[in-house]
Chain A
């Protein structure tokens, strides 16, 4: 047990060190800070004197933006992790040592997620503090940010696991990168467009009432956004698919359960794929 933990810690440490060296830590933190600040001060955010706090409003718009950014950064951090080692021939070297495959995968997952967590926590905290400094704080808003950061890490974990699965499924970094772009595009962009199209065509019929909420919650990005917006309890303006946040036929916590299910499934699939990789 102790040996297992030591080996996992060794893999985690080297992945974090690599991310620091390759400036992934600085870059992902910077991206999140910049986008969060831009939303807070340049966007449609807290311009007017509404009864909703500025902190809450930026949390709402940041929830929408996070769906694009966090998965992208998570995939960028992780897609190379196994395919890269296969290409550089370091994987056989690693697997010839007493380390077990699940230990390698766990270590890599924890390492990438640590980097992402750091970026989310630091990036969003800086933005939140800036908003507080300018517009003042309120408890409701602070809770919204805390939720945003916590669920953002969960969303990131899902996509780190997806990235590792992709990386374990192909022996080429280039292929993994192409798959990564495809997956991001389908899950984050096209999925929502398809759902919107379905809503328009269906015009309030069976699809809209029964299938649509389930389909929304089945997508990790949508589940994340829905949970955060629903938790704001109608205090922030929402549009498009997110209108569902107002008329959810199930408790918002189910969205969290969906994210957790994604995470478990992706980790299991990654472990399964990695066992089959022939170094």
Chain B
């Protein structure tokens, strides 16, 4: 393999009339990687997906799927797609729909049926989709996307509207797939849920890629402070405050911010205080904070 990435987006710009939906976006996704695409509505996530699928032509720049052009036979065999809020015909059963998509993908219906087991709706295989819950429909959508073992999964807000348990199950399946080498690209509004579940995060804002990297990298780039909350042993926050500074929270606790790089130094200073300290809480910046930091920068003009 000369080119290790499955998805290569270079300097991609897409325009709808005068609206610039994407502006010079570049990113690459490797096999086995879980890649999250974040951004608010209209930031360009769906447009990026649709360009990768070949539905939309770039104004400039290039997209390659496993080295092939979007929409080409090779690209179509490589990619599987789950659109946002897909509504399957209610009158058909899960098994019928899965068989249909298997045939469109050149697979036998029989070979696809175990996927219903994989996503946990085998019991409902012969029930009409109209009777499915939102979570079950989404699982069916995922089963459909898994037909033929695609190398690249594009999931457009796959977990929006799912309850926490379904969402957890959903991510567990994605983790397993990534472990087997499938590259997973998913978009989301739901920042906190993506955090623990993806290797790399890209943030789109108004069609521009404003940040990209692992959560730690993003947090470092955003230079958001780590917050350390120290609880005094003897309800004597005053004494504690006098020795380490920061903000007094109440009678017992003191809170201080420090740069991510200084965290260890601060902690060892606190640890050196010995008995004065009862407990320490460390608040590292969450993805929500990082996301707000990055998307806030370039979306400043928006109300």
Contact = CB atoms under 8 A, between A and B. Distances in A.
A99 B85 contact: no
Contact of B76 (A9, A88, A97): A97
Given A21-B91, A279-B55, A6 B83 contact: no
Contacts of B105: 97-98
Given A7-B103, A17-B92, A18-B92, A96 B81 contact: yes
B70 to A, nearest CB: 10
Contacts of B82: 93
Contact of A97 (B84, B86, B104): B104
Contact of A88 (B50, B77, B87, B101): B87
Interface in A1-29: 3, 6-7, 9-11, 13-14, 17-18, 21-22
Contacts of A14: 92, 96, 100
Nearest to A278: B55
B198 interface: no
B100 A278 contact: no
Interface residues of B, number: 29
Given A3-B106, A14-B100, A278-B55, A98 B92 contact: no
Contacts of B53: 92, 95-96
A279 B82 CA distance: 13
Instruction: Give the one of A10, A11, A93, A95 with max B CB within 10 A.
Output: A93
B4 interface: no
B295 interface: no
Contact of A98 (B55, B76, B100): B76
Given A96-B76, A97-B76, A278-B56, A89 B103 contact: no
Interface of B: 50, 53, 55-56, 73, 76-77, 79-89, 91-92, 96, 100-101, 103-106, 141, 144
Interface of A: 3, 6-7, 9-11, 13-14, 17-18, 21-22, 88-90, 92-99, 278-279
- 9 smallest CB-CB distances across A and B, nearest first, come from A10-B103, A21-B91, A96-B81, A88-B87, A97-B104, A89-B86, A98-B76, A89-B83, A14-B100
